[in-house]
Structure 1
Amino acid sequence: MRYTVALTGGVASGKSTVARLFKDLGIYVADADIASREVIAPGSAGLAEVVAAFGSGVLDQSGALDRAAMRKRVFGDPAARRQLESIIHPRVRTWLQDAAATAPGPYVLVDIPLLAEGGGRTAYPWLDRILVVDVPVEVQRSRVMQRDGVDAALADSMIAAQATRDDRLAIADDVLVNDGAIEALTPHVEALDRLYRTLAASAAGLPSPLPLAGEG
């Protein structure tokens, strides 16, 4: 199994930007959002189970899942939402684990937006390390309002729908605070990349990577 680092963070934390910076350093990123689409793609066992549970009315004309119809079906119905999650989430975890096991490179980053909400290490026991992109709630609120064009009340409800900041920090091995300019992230990501390369080499019984020019 490839040395695996989970990346997570709340809405508007900048997690996607951090994932892109790791990609720029040559690190493979397995994305839970992609996994959630793949496991219920047309013709998949996952989609067949969704249809068996909720009926063919959740399909669009092409035979794919009508996500708007599905959201409407489970909105305000906790039992239906849990049923849908019981179909999708185990398949997503398996998809991500398989992707991590076969990924190229010294280690793999697994992008899981709702890691704290989805059970953390209990649900993902194969993770070696968890990186949380952290941002103060007031900064998060401001970014959501600017990004989505919503008012403070709706921004707060979006934030409240996720795990709390403390819940995310409780599962973190590493915390990347992203309360400033995007440019400030780069040196922090580069430092984390060096750390993870070293940890991955150690876990594999290999010599630690040599420092970059000008380091150490």
Structure 2
Amino acid sequence: MYLGLTGNIASGKSTAAMFFEKHGCYCIDTDEISRIVMRPGEAAYEGVVQAFGNDVVSEDGTLDRAKIRGIVFNDPEKRKVLEGIVQPAILKYESKAVGAIKGKDDKAVIITQAALTVESGSYKRFDGLIVVYTDPQVQLERVVKRDRISEEDARKIIDAQMPIEEKLKYANFIINNSGDHDRLEREVRRVIELIKLFGKCKKMSSKK
């Protein structure tokens, strides 16, 4: 079973992924993969430098990801350029990771965590999609606390994303992460049981 895991900023995707791993799933983090493929000598590095110039290269030769984020945040065209360079490299790396997991465990539940799964259309490659969400006020408070920014700046970041109500329409499984970690873990365990049923139904339908 190969699933996607997504949600908006401060929804708790990474914490949910941690609990999925704790309970026997294999989790792949595309944000971590993006760091890998953007390292000097890796697949996306030269393309990013050519597209954005030496200004995004730090003194140690690594890419300044914060500076790149600042460039693309308010410029959809430049964001598309960045995605066109980085996404193919991420997908290739991810595909190898998935193949390696399936090679050692053919019954594995593999979950790929990514922020833009719905927006990019990449949700279509999964057997199902898990969407994590949180109440708007809780989300706002988490962004302010985590990033140490004003409520006004936090609202701008939140408003720049696809509305969670729209994203939830694509979900096969929904996790409410408006509470504490214990509640989130219970939600993850609940979804794991649903995933097992989902997998059985897919196998039965494929035999018809």
TM normalised by structure 2 equals: 0.84
Q: Kindly indicate whether the alpha-carbon contact (under 8 Å) linking 1:117 and 1:162 is maintained by their aligned counterparts in 2.
A: no
Hey, what's the Cα distance between the residues in 2 that align with 1:107 and 1:124?
16
Secondary structure at the residue paired with 1:114?
coil
Hey, what's the Cα distance between the residues in 1 that align with 2:9 and 2:194?
26
- Alpha-carbon distance, 1:62 to partner: 2.8
The verdict on how the C-alpha distance between 1:75 and 1:23 changes in structure 2, with shifts beyond 3 A counting, is closer
The counterpart of 1:108, out of the listed 107, 110, 122, is: 110
Q: Which amino acid aligns with 2:116?
A: L
- Superposition pairs for residues 131-210 of structure 1, below 5 Å? 131-200=130-199
Hey, what's the Cα distance between the residues in 1 that align with 2:70 and 2:3?
34
- Superposition pairs for residues 52-63 of structure 1, below 5 Å? 52-63=50-61
- The structure carrying a bigger helix percent of its residues is 2
- Superposition pairs for residues 15-164 of structure 1, below 5 Å? 15-74=13-72, 76-103=74-101, 105=105, 106-119=108-121, 123-164=122-163
Q: Kindly indicate whether the alpha-carbon contact (under 8 Å) linking 2:56 and 2:63 is maintained by their aligned counterparts in 1.
A: yes
Q: Kindly name which structure, 1 or 2, has the bigger radius of gyration based on alpha carbons.
A: 1
Q: Kindly indicate whether the alpha-carbon contact (under 8 Å) linking 2:3 and 2:110 is maintained by their aligned counterparts in 1.
A: yes
Q: Which runs of 4+ in 1 moved over 6 A?
A: none
The verdict on how the C-alpha distance between 1:53 and 1:186 changes in structure 2, with shifts beyond 3 A counting, is closer
Q: Kindly indicate whether the alpha-carbon contact (under 8 Å) linking 1:116 and 1:167 is maintained by their aligned counterparts in 2.
A: no
RMSD: 2.3
TM normalised by structure 1 equals: 0.81
Number of aligned positions between the proteins? 200
Hey, what's the Cα distance between the residues in 2 that align with 1:146 and 1:75?
20
Q: Kindly indicate whether the alpha-carbon contact (under 8 Å) linking 1:58 and 1:65 is maintained by their aligned counterparts in 2.
A: yes
Hey, what's the Cα distance between the residues in 2 that align with 1:63 and 1:112?
26
The verdict on how the C-alpha distance between 1:131 and 1:73 changes in structure 2, with shifts beyond 3 A counting, is closer
Q: Kindly indicate whether the alpha-carbon contact (under 8 Å) linking 2:17 and 2:27 is maintained by their aligned counterparts in 1.
A: yes
Hey, what's the Cα distance between the residues in 2 that align with 1:65 and 1:190?
38
- Alpha-carbon distance, 1:45 to partner: 3.0
Gap regions ≥5 residues in structure 1 = 206-216
Secondary structure at the residue paired with 1:125?
helix
The verdict on how the C-alpha distance between 1:64 and 1:22 changes in structure 2, with shifts beyond 3 A counting, is same
Q: Which amino acid aligns with 1:151?
A: S
The verdict on how the C-alpha distance between 1:201 and 1:132 changes in structure 2, with shifts beyond 3 A counting, is same
- Superposition pairs for residues 2-13 of structure 1, below 5 Å? 3-13=1-11
Percent of pairs with identical residues: 34
Q: Kindly indicate whether the alpha-carbon contact (under 8 Å) linking 1:107 and 1:197 is maintained by their aligned counterparts in 2.
A: no
Q: Kindly indicate whether the alpha-carbon contact (under 8 Å) linking 1:32 and 1:110 is maintained by their aligned counterparts in 2.
A: yes
- Alpha-carbon distance, 1:46 to partner: 1.4
Hey, what's the Cα distance between the residues in 1 that align with 2:65 and 2:88?
19
Which one is further off, 65-74 or 6-15? 65-74
Hey, what's the Cα distance between the residues in 1 that align with 2:171 and 2:150?
30
